[in-house]
Amino acid sequence: MPKIVHLLLFALFICLPVQAETLRVGQATDRALAEGVKFPARGMTMKKVKRWFGPPTKTYAPVGDPPITRWEYPGYIVYFEYDRVITSVVKRKPGADGE
Q: What is the DSSP letter of 35?
A: T
Q: How far apart are CA 46 and CA 62, in angstroms?
A: 13
Q: What is the mean pLDDT of each run of 10 residues along the chain (99 residues)?
A: 69 59 53 70 94 95 95 92 92 60
Give the model's pLDDT for residue 79: 96
- 63 within domain boundaries: yes
CATH number at residue 38: 3.30.1450
What pTM was computed for the model? 0.63
Q: Is residue 25 part of a domain?
A: yes
How many CB atoms are located within 10 Å of the residue 21 CB?
Answer: 4
> Is 99 part of a structural domain of the chain?
no
Q: What is the pLDDT of residue 23?
A: 42
Classify residue 8: in a domain, yes or no.
yes
On whether residue 98 sits in a domain, the answer given is no
Tell me which H or E stretch contains 45: none
Residue range of the domain that includes 10: 2-93
> Structural domain tally of the chain?
1
